[in-house]
Homo-oligomer: A and B are copies of this chain.
């Protein structure tokens, strides 16, 4: 299995033919300025910081010749228009989450997270050494963009509830802030999904306009203060066994880059991808303890909720697949990777973690 070299392979021909018309020095180190619009506010510092690390790394590796300026959501376009802005060349690239665009096509969900899918390491493996990036970039081509992994939150929490959930029946009629396919599955379980921006969650939960809300995980959720207005914090976030963020590049702009800048960009994205996960994995263990000290009650989703959600998710995938061959093709590939992946995962990783979790509990 060979690692896929997406950025270095794409458009190599274009750069080579351009080089003929330009002096060697100008070709190897032209001044290039790009703009990267983020779908995220600066307050989501771990996610936003990954785009900044990408930008800083590219600038340093090219002696300041290739500058990518990062803009927070709303500075150029609203967060959820980052992909469109990249497609229409308002910006050359963006840092976003593919699943924000499931309204265009549910296939976008597969680039970030869909319920009961791959965990974090499996997702990176599928992207880089499975068929992930090949299949997804074939799909993204229709939107004039290509994608590289842009960080991962790791497994997310399952949201804040003002009342305990003891069975599926307790979900009936609950108004919950939850987006995308997680929301569609929750709707099949009786929840009324609500779409709210991050800053609007706290007041809505405080006033009781909504009964529950999911955001990210301990570190980001603590900063939103959600523990002050909802006591029960559920896990696992079965709709986001991990959430892969994405760098999207306008294909034509990408092809204009000298080969060395594309290589620097590819490496910088890999560094950002690795860094975001490591950062969350260092911050969340501290934040969860701080939340519990503030009175947060941790609750595991009851088995009947998990089972009902698993069934509802897979029936949703069947419904989508019946109408959308592109989704079907990629989802079938994910399923094979998931089956093989979890067969292996249960052997070493799971038994090692199982032992270590118990050893810690014994003290």
Contacts and interface: CB of A to CB of B under 8 A. Distances in A.
Interface of A: 1, 3, 8, 28-29, 49, 53, 57, 60-63, 116, 119-122, 124-130, 154-157, 217-218, 235-238, 241, 258-260, 262-264, 266-268, 270-271, 273-275, 277-279, 281-286, 288-289, 298, 300, 306, 310, 338-357, 359-360
A113 to B, nearest CB: 11
Nearest to A346: B357
A126 to B, nearest CB: 7
21 contacts: A1-B279, A3-B53, A3-B278, A8-B60, A28-B63, A57-B263, A60-B259, A119-B349, A119-B353, A119-B356, A121-B121, A128-B278, A128-B282, A155-B349, A157-B347, A271-B271, A285-B340, A288-B344, A306-B355, A338-B356, A349-B353
A86 to B, nearest CB: 22
B235 A62 contact: no
Nearest to A218: B344
Q: Which of A154, A217, A218, A344 has the most CB of B within 10 A?
A: A344
A218 B124 CA distance: 19
7 closest residue pairs by CB, A with B: A60-B263, A129-B282, A125-B281, A267-B267, A270-B271, A285-B344, A285-B340
A309 to B, nearest CB: 10
Given A130-B282, A351-B236, A124 B277 contact: yes
B29 A61 contact: no
A150 to B, nearest CB: 12
Contact of A121 (B1, B259, B277, B360): B277
Given A154-B348, A350-B353, 16 more contacts: A61-B267, A119-B356, A121-B277, A124-B281, A125-B277, A126-B282, A129-B281, A156-B348, A236-B352, A264-B267, A286-B340, A288-B343, A342-B353, A346-B353, A346-B357, A350-B354
Nearest to A28: B63
